Amino acid sequence: MKSKLATAISVALLIAPALANASDTRPEIPFYDHTLPFDARLDDISARMSNEEKGHMISLFNKGVPRLGLKAFTPGEALHGLTSPHATTVFPQSIGLAATWDPIAVQRMGSAISDEARAQYHNGPNVHGNRDQVDQPGPLMFWSPVINVARDPRWGRTQEAYGEDPLMNGTMATAYVTGMQGDHPKYLKTAAGAKHFVANNEEHNRFYTSAEISEKQLREFYFPAYKQVVQEGNAHIIMTAYNAVNGEPAVTNKWLVNDVLRDEWGFDGLVMADYGSVALLTEGYGQGGLEGHGIYPSHKESAAAVLNAQTLDLDNTSIFRRELIQAVEEGMVPQAQLDRAFRNVMTVGLKLGMFDPEELSPWKDIPFETLTSFKDLALELAEKSIVLLQNEPVDGTPLLPLDKSALKTVAVIGPNAERLNYGTYSGTATDPVTPLQGIRDYLGDDVEVLYVPWTGSEAGFDHIDMSNITLLDDHGMGVWQAQYYDNSNAVGEPVAIGKTPNIDQHWTDTPPHESLGKAYGVRYTTTLIPPQAGTYTLRVKHVGGNAILKINDNVVMRAHGRSYEQEHVADFQFEANQSYTLELQSGRPSRANEHQISFGWRLPLEENQFEGGELEVAKQADAVIAVMGLSTQFERESVDRSAPGLPSEQTDMLRGVINANPNTIVVLQSGSAIETPFLKNRIPAVLQSWYPGERGGEAIANTLFGDNNPGGKLPLTFPRSWKDLPAFDDYDITKGRSYWYFDKEPLWAFGHGLSYTDFKMDKLKLKSKKVKADGTIDLSVRVNNTGKVDGDEVVQVYVVDKFDRSDKPQQRLKAFERVSVKAGKSETVELSIDVAELAYWDEKTKNWALGDRYEIRVGNASDNITLSETVRVK
């Protein structure tokens, strides 16, 4: 008697020739019968494939399996817009999206991005999706969002996350994923991948560090966003982190991936490795020359360890299609583990409809012109993201909004005035609007705009003068020591040692030392005392090889090798009369045709450098708009921030400008906190615009002149000083991390954000002050707009545990809602909190526990609570 599966396959073989629109490259096999269950289709295709072919399908950057019509999975990024060779819509960076406190708007953004992805996939030209330069449609699988809780503003990728609160991260990520994946009953619109699981919060040592975190803090602070995006957002991809957690690398951490993610939370999608993280398990291997975890003697053993741990399904190097297959053939890995990984990956492809006839796709008719078509949404999100940090009166009246009719001249200055910073993982927009252009467009011919280009970054780069170098040669001259290695990762013992007065090298056929072959590594080291204190700009130019710059053994710059010239810059705060050790490492792989490496720096500007154009226009103008802040030069993947607050040359300029004209507004662009008390003490009006996307300049102008009433709120604490923070590599949140435990006076608090109108909250009502453990806390509060301008307010509900328990936070955000209220009107907001969400992790019982009494606190910032009630849990 035939099994149901055998019968289904027999029927499929009969109908396969009639499958509509079947590609010529697809054989007529049951796998391509979309009417069959996924298991039947996977059984069929798995039985037809060799292990080597399966290895290709669970690796990125490959050619797929042409004989079976299987195209390779093409990865993509879509953090705040589709990254593509084509122009797309660029939305505000993630930290700005968090500042909207509007998950519905973020969900709409996710839907827009997936529209553009489907338009590219179905109706756009092919893209090069892998290193073998195989033409593929655009990606449908995306390595976004980033939901690592931004526990420290020094982290270079704070901009990519949704702030310092677990609920904020989880809610925004869930909204994004829901928008990306759609709500079709059969097909995923795209597959979103949440990353990096878990505690990936440092760039300078991310490849080898171990985050030491108690289970209690993991479950209460670091895990919740991932749990929410899995259980509420139904995310289909989770990417693990480079780092280890409590000594075990994330890629082999059975407890993290199997016990918690899969078994407890019910995740049934695919788990993938961050780029190169399987290779980092191998001794002597460094990602881009950095030290990895170095546990196993070869890539084969590393791959075997990962598959035997049953943690990963997909790798994004060649290891799973080479060394892993060797391990399977040699019996180091059971066949069942390869098949498990293969099925998990292919299941996501089936849910995306990648192997079904094109006409079955619900999104097949989205035209390619959809790309770049969501400019209005980009503007809306940019406006909603802007936070009014400060708006003090000048001559008795708040400086903002500016009254266009009362102005004759406006000065626009600052390093970000004519530059639109998108942040990392960004697409390319059409017709982007810079702040300067937005202000000019808004004012038209009615008001004269006086613009002074920023000169702080226009000086050239110089080699470090030998007089500043303290590592001396036999003649007392300052030098760099050069160590040469017979491998591109510069590991092991150097085969030769040399000296050079500066770094400016170009090698083609002849390596730097006669004992070296085509592949080699070089490490330059010196010590120096900077000629003056301040923020220095460091530049590395290179061709062919990677580049890693360390200062006092901390990585401040990292770049992968390319066949074309690259230039990378980073800023670093040097102190006077202090000694620093600099190390620049570069490696030439065997495939590189040439290798160039040069290094230089630009000194900080002297005091009063700006007693020129900026001060002159400040004296002439009715108001000054200074567009200041950071950029990816200061903070990005691979580069943690090296100095707090604004660069010194910016504050030096502002001191002169505010003295010349008290009507000065500062507009900040950054992906993290700006720790500059001078802004709060001296500047009357300060706007935080983050990295605001392609319509950022228009949003800024609309806000400055009152067409947009700012309603954004801070998704992270702005500390006054880095001295108020615990050590960067200390993951113990109880030592002052986030508003949960931060016990110093902040510059601006989590949740802070002002408005051009006045709000008052009242009539807090609880449906019941006694709730069951499996019940909900239902509450309502009235929001009154008592001012003269329509505006948005954010109702923020915090909970305080009114009972004894270990590591008790000061308060925790448990609900929020952004609400629009007309001038002179009121709106009632209703919110609900599951009592189970108030639980804490009991380390004795190794389980969740509830207290008996909680204070429900309502306000519009973590430091501005105006209403409270107490509930008891029965």
Fold (CATH) for 49-369: TIM Barrel (3.20.20)
Question: Which 3 state secondary structure label does DSSP give 487?
Answer: coil
DSSP 11-30: HHHHHGGG-TT--TTS-S-G
Q: Give residue-wise pLDDT tens across range 98-110.
A: 999 999 999 999 9
Helices (H) and strands (E) in the chain, counts: 19, 38
Distances 597 to 239, 423, 473, 541 between C-alpha atoms, Å: 33, 26, 22, 6
469 vs 33: CA distance, rounded Å: 70
Does position 786 have pLDDT exceeding 90, yes or no?
yes
Torsion sign over Cα 351, 356, 361, 364:
positive
Residue 465: pLDDT band with limits 50, 70, 90 = confident
Residue 603: CB atoms within 10 Å: 17
Does position 129 have pLDDT exceeding 60, yes or no?
no
- Cβ pair 575, 533 in contact under 8 A: yes
Q: Give residue-wise pLDDT tens across range 818-842.
A: 999 999 999 999 999 999 999 999 9
- Cβ pair 100, 386 in contact under 8 A: no
Q: Give residue-wise pLDDT tens across range 345-394.
A: 999 999 999 999 999 999 999 999 999 999 999 999 999 999 999 999 99
- The full set of domain ranges for the chain reads 49-369, 375-454+607-741, 466-602, 759-873
What is the pLDDT at residue 21?
36
Reported as type and span, the H/E element at residue 33 is none
| Range of weakest confidence among 89-98, 212-221, 286-295, 402-411 | 286-295
| Chain centre distance of CA 365 | 31
Domain 759-873 has CATH 3.40.640.10: no
- Cβ pair 73, 134 in contact under 8 A: no
DSSP 652-721: HHHHHHHHH-S-EEEEEE-SS----HHHHHH-SEEEE--S--TTHHHHHHHHHTTSS------SS-B-S-
Across the chain, mean pLDDT equals: 92
| Range of weakest confidence among 9-13, 197-201, 311-315, 799-803 | 9-13
Q: Give residue-wise pLDDT tens across range 763-775.
A: 999 999 999 999 9
Closest CA relative to residue 320, chosen from 334, 307, 330, 331: 307
Region 744-761: mean pLDDT is 98
Classify 240 in phi/psi space as left (phi over 0), alpha (psi -120 to 50) or beta. Answer: beta
Residue 607: pLDDT band with limits 50, 70, 90 = very low
Distances 580 to 498, 575, 604 between C-alpha atoms, Å: 21, 9, 17
- Global pTM reads 0.88
Region 725-733: mean pLDDT is 97
Question: Which 3 state secondary structure label does DSSP give 636?
Answer: strand
Three-state SS letters, 222-282: HCHHHHHHHHCCCCCEEEECCCEECCEEHHHCHHHHHHHHHHHCCCCCEEECCCCCCHHHE
CATH of region 466-602 = 2.60.120.260
Region 205-229: mean pLDDT is 96
Counting beta carbons within 10 angstroms of the beta carbon of residue 332, is it exposed (0 to 12), middle (13 to 18) or buried (19 or more)? middle
What is the pLDDT at residue 606?
52
101 vs 672: CA distance, rounded Å: 16
Closest CA relative to residue 80, chosen from 351, 381, 347: 381
Cα 542–Cα 545–Cα 550 angle in degrees, nearest 5: 75
- CB neighbour burial string for 461-474, b if at least 16 within 10 angstroms, e if fewer: beebebeebebeee
Residue entry with tokens 């009630």: 869
Residue 466: pLDDT band with limits 50, 70, 90 = confident
Give percent of the chain with pLDDT exceeding 70.
94
Residue 414: CB atoms within 10 Å: 28
Residue 551: pLDDT band with limits 50, 70, 90 = very high
Distances 234 to 58, 165, 182, 813 between C-alpha atoms, Å: 21, 21, 11, 23
Q: Tell me the CB-side half-sphere exposure of residue 311, using CA atoms within 13 A.
A: 26
Cα 442–Cα 676–Cα 733 angle in degrees, nearest 5: 115
Closest CA relative to residue 836, chosen from 788, 873, 793, 791: 873
DSSP state of 602: E
What is the pLDDT at residue 491?
84
Q: Tell me the CB-side half-sphere exposure of residue 697, using CA atoms within 13 A.
A: 21
DSSP 269-317: SEEEPPTTTTGGGBTT--GGG------BSSHHHHHHHHHHHT--SBBSS
Region 487-514: mean pLDDT is 87
Domain 375-454+607-741 has CATH 3.40.50.1700: yes
What is the pLDDT at residue 8?
39
Does position 563 have pLDDT exceeding 60, yes or no?
yes
What is the pLDDT at residue 286?
55
Q: Give residue-wise pLDDT tens across range 235-262.
A: 999 999 999 999 999 999 999 999 999 9
